[in-house]
Structure 1
Amino acid sequence: MGSCAILLAVILAIDLSLFVFSSRLIPRSPDPPPCRNTDPRTRRSDQMTVVISGYSEHRIPLLHSIAAAYSAAPSVAAVVLLWCNPSTSSHTLAQLTQNLSAAVLRTPSSSLNYRFYPWEIIKTKAVLICDDDIEADPSSVSFAFTVWKSDPDRAIGFFARSHAYDVASRTWIYAMEKEKYSIVLTKFMILNIKYLEKYSCDEEYGEARRIVEDMNNCEDILMNFVVAEEAQKGPVMIGVKGGGLRDYGDARNDGVSEGVKEVGLSSRGREHRKRRGECIREFHRVLGRMPLKYSYGKMVDDVGEQGLCEKSGKLVLCDQQDFR
């Protein structure tokens, strides 16, 4: 009887470990499931789903910290890691799932279009699409979600860029302008899941999706085209207090390993911007219109005194003065 009890305990332990593993690493299918229309009334509106796109194995240690940070936000219902590197071994992915505050979904290929697929695991109306090198604190995440809820037809983000028309070359270009913007990046983008369905399932955008495949770039620009076309509004940029948002992938980082900060597309500098300008022109060509719309200013989470006062011989924000 003692031997049987020990054997039964071993079997139960093995079964339990398999169950925990399978709940975190969702089995890969050769193709995504077919698109289907979901009743929006069945989706939660009080929280959002975070979808992190992962590719570089150099960033696996970083992903644990990032997933934990998003999971700690009260506005987050679930965190999903899309693993988009087909060459990563199952053993490496199994190690990744250990103590990870996220479900792991391995995509059928490395296509950037999968970032915007309406996966069945997403049960909320709001979806936060983000990179695997961006870590936002819970208060910044919750504030961004609050802004999105005030106008859920818009795309919301911390990082903004712009399209512009270059008169000299008579072409659309990709730019970064101080006074206006028309694109929010997928470094951090909150949007309605209906736009994921539109992007991935509407044949109107089929040729544009193929451009994303060919360029291996610009899925975020195409999504901004989709949102602007459907909402007839520009995006909203969110302002963050100092320290609330960490970008590990920025090439200007000190103290971050090259393997972590040099794997992103944005690290390619001028050539990267040139290619994204080509994407804008191609999307304009195949869609036959330019739906992108400019926005101005950004949303901030408090309104304080902006005037400067002198204190101990230095100019500081007047809010920092003690007027007692």
Structure 2
Amino acid sequence: MSAIIAIRDAVPTSADMNGGFYSPAKAKAATRAVFSSRFPLFRRLRNLFAARKLRLITCVLTLSVVVLVSSRLSSLMGWVPPHPNPSISRGCGYTVLINTWKRSSALKQSVAHYASCNGVAAIHVVWSDSDPPSESLKSHLEKMVFSKSRAAQKPNFRFGISQEEDLNNRFKPIEGLTNDAVFSVDDDAIVSCPTLDFAFTVWQSAPNAMVGFTPRMHWLHKKKSGMAKYEYGGWWSVWWMGTYSMLLPKAVFFHRNYLDLYTYNMPSSIRDYVTRERNCEDIAMSLLVANATGAPPIWVKGKMYEIGSSGISSLKRHSKRRNKCLNDFVSLVGRMPLVPTNVKAVDARFEWFW
């Protein structure tokens, strides 16, 4: 007892001022108050960290709510392809769907290149011409696929021949596919094999999305009359703004079921429009996927180059025609389904900083 009394006498506290009852919590609070009053910088730093902590918690909660709502909306907005489990997904690898038009030289280079990529399970050429491919060309390409492929199981190669010249032909369903992933590519677009394989792994993580290398964008533009119109933005718009909402099927992965949706479920008025105008089938496919998923595409950074002469995009008045297509399609669909995004998939193994 005397020891306790000695301690109280030696170290007087504010508790002694309140009837002699000692409270450690009150003593700590009093000490903190004195310290803060003597050191205002400490007080400001403490308040700053507390505010940042609150903002961080708020951001995390907000992001969680957005992800939850987005997932619910995606399940309500049209058809959503199944999420294949890599261990049980149908087949392995992907089908390269090459769209060609009277460019045999470019087609030969394209087939030879993609046959050498390890992930390619099949190569399907879309031939839309009143004159069918010659037997010598088909035989040459078949031998090229066999000789260029380094896989034990050689890719399956065949032509899909259509008599009419219709851009809708590039999205016709393919019978006998053994894999879900389709890489749609023009005959003059070459994507390096490592880049292509990386994009395939990105698609496997998001099989509902379009995953590819040719981003484009749209934005709402209001004219002086007050009428709202959409404008189509090419590559330089994407580069300048850092935003995109479409991926062109010039070089893009998508789920095989979108071929069925494009052919059998999309409004026939849009397919008729593409046939009549000979343009904008790529915009139509982007609208279709966005309408089905309610989600943006995924742009992959990688090596891609073009061979031969440029195509329809080099024609005059191309931008005006694309603007018209975009607005006409939105009118036919009844709304704008495209979702802008700033996300880019990058293979960190080949980056200096990540």
Does 2:120 align with 1:76?
yes
From 163, 172, 186, give the equivalent of 2:249. 186
Structure 1 partner of 2:22:
none
Does 2:120 align with 1:65?
no
Summarize deviations over 1:68-114 as a string: whole Å, max 9, x none. Answer: 22122222100111111223564575566463424222123211111
Q: Residue 111 of structure 2: SS of its match in structure 1?
A: helix
- Residues in 2 aligned to 1:40 and 1:119: alpha-carbon distance in whole angstroms: 20
- Residues in 2 aligned to 1:211 and 1:286: alpha-carbon distance in whole angstroms: 10
1:70–1:141 CA contact under 8 A, matched in 2 = no
2:203–2:210 CA contact under 8 A, matched in 1 = yes
2:83–2:208 CA contact under 8 A, matched in 1 = no
> Offset of 1:214 from its aligned partner?
1.1
Number of equivalent positions? 251
1:148–1:190 CA contact under 8 A, matched in 2 = yes
Structure 1 partner of 2:131:
87
Structure 2 partner of 1:253:
none
> Offset of 1:247 from its aligned partner?
1.2
Which residue type is aligned with residue 332 of structure 2? V
Q: Residue 120 of structure 1: SS of its match in structure 2?
A: coil
- The runs of 5 or more residues in structure 1 that have no matched partner are 1-38, 249-259, 308-324
1:54–1:85 CA contact under 8 A, matched in 2 = no
1 or 2, which has the higher helix percentage? 2
RMSD: 2.5
Does 2:168 align with 1:113?
yes
1:47–1:77 CA contact under 8 A, matched in 2 = yes
Summarize deviations over 1:12-62 as a string: whole Å, max 9, x none. Answer: xxxxxxxxxxxxxxxxxxxxxxxxxxx999973531111101112xx3123
Q: Residue 208 of structure 1: SS of its match in structure 2?
A: helix
Which residue type is aligned with residue 118 of structure 2? P
Q: Residue 99 of structure 1: SS of its match in structure 2?
A: helix
Structure 1 partner of 2:294:
232
2:300–2:344 CA contact under 8 A, matched in 1 = yes
Structure 2 partner of 1:165:
220
Within 5 Å, give how 1:96-175 maps onto structure 2: 97=141, 99-101=143-145, 102-168=157-223, 170-175=228-233
> Offset of 1:281 from its aligned partner?
0.8
- The runs of 5 or more residues in structure 2 that have no matched partner are 1-81, 146-156
Q: Which has the larger radius of gyration?
A: 2
> Offset of 1:163 from its aligned partner?
1.5
Length-normalised TM-score, structure 2: 0.65
1:52–1:131 CA contact under 8 A, matched in 2 = yes
Percentage of identical aligned residues = 29
> Offset of 1:234 from its aligned partner?
0.7
From 332, 335, 339, give the equivalent of 1:286. 332
Length-normalised TM-score, structure 1: 0.71
> Offset of 1:297 from its aligned partner?
3.1
Structure 1 partner of 2:315:
268
Q: Residue 261 of structure 1: SS of its match in structure 2?
A: coil
- Residues in 1 aligned to 2:110 and 2:174: alpha-carbon distance in whole angstroms: 21
- Residues in 1 aligned to 2:245 and 2:83: alpha-carbon distance in whole angstroms: 27
Inter-CA distance 274–95: structure 2 relative to 1 (3 Å threshold): farther
Structure 2 partner of 1:24:
none
- Residues in 2 aligned to 1:196 and 1:144: alpha-carbon distance in whole angstroms: 20
